[in-house]
Amino acid sequence: MEQGNAMNRLRVRIYTDYKSPYAFVANKRLFELEEIYGVELEWLPYTLRIPEFMGTVEERTPHFWRKVRYAYMDARRYANAQGLVMKGPRRIYDAFHASAGMLFAQRHGLFRPYHDTVFRRFWSHDLEIDELSDISGVIASLGGSSEEFEAYVHGPARAEHDRIIDEAEALGVFGVPTMIFNGELFWGGDRIDMLIERINNPESIVTALGSRHQA
């Protein structure tokens, strides 16, 4: 695919969450969209609220736990194929601080190293993503200001974060990774091939969605 200049590059918005195993293993192929297809990627946090996403512990049935065990095994297969370490989470995480760190890192030119570091260290049991001191430490290790980051967390971060979540849900987002291209949602790493088809041939949405498609 011929790459255009910065003014007319196609854009894909990606919602992700550092505590999602499927978001972790989708990163390689998502960054390839940028490298191979010249697509501009816009990364935003969609911090999953675990009780809402999975239900309370009391509500979880044996069927639910079988599905959870399969999901982590399945994600680990994808991780192993990429040479990634993926250890099961030790507890339920909130991850607001890690999401705020993403937004802060983007503004300070640190996004890619921050993103890779947080995912890698969290899934290696080397980082607590809902501990402010841990995320501040990542920011500082990459040359950013931990003081500025903590001021951001204690200042406008929560309102900005919640606005992004509200906007995502207004667009129909409910899980991660979710990619949005020309208003069309693609949920999960197994939809990246479909996304690539749409990038290569945007008009194919008409065939895919028929009368449901709105220009």
Q: Which residue has the tokens 């001191």?
A: 133
pLDDT at 55 over 80: no
The reported pLDDT for the residue numbered 3 is 43
Tell me the pLDDT tens digit for each residue of 131-158: 999 999 999 999 999 999 999 999 999 9
The reported pLDDT for the residue numbered 62 is 82
Percent helix, strand, coil in the chain, to 5, is 60, 10, 35
pLDDT at 57 over 80: no
Spatial contact of 173 and 184, defined as CB atoms under 8 Å apart = no
**CATH class for the region spanning 11-212:** alpha beta
Peptide bond into 177 cis (omega under 30): yes
Higher-confidence residue: 6 or 213?
213
* 127-132-133-135 Cα dihedral, nearest 10 degrees: 50
The reported pLDDT for the residue numbered 151 is 98
Tell me the pLDDT tens digit for each residue of 60-112: 678 777 888 898 999 999 999 999 999 988 888 999 999 999 999 999 999 99
Give the pLDDT band (50/70/90) at residue 211: low
Spatial contact of 117 and 98, defined as CB atoms under 8 Å apart = no
- Dist. CA 84–CA 26, nearest whole Å: 12
The reported pLDDT for the residue numbered 52 is 56
Which residues sit opposite 44 in a β-bridge? Answer: 15
pTM, entire model: 0.89
pLDDT at 2 over 50: no
pLDDT at 7 over 80: no
Spatial contact of 21 and 71, defined as CB atoms under 8 Å apart = yes
- Dist. CA 209–CA 215, nearest whole Å: 11
**Closest among 26, 19, 13, 34 to 188, alpha carbons compared:** 26
Tell me the pLDDT tens digit for each residue of 8-51: 789 999 999 999 999 999 999 999 999 999 999 999 999 997 65
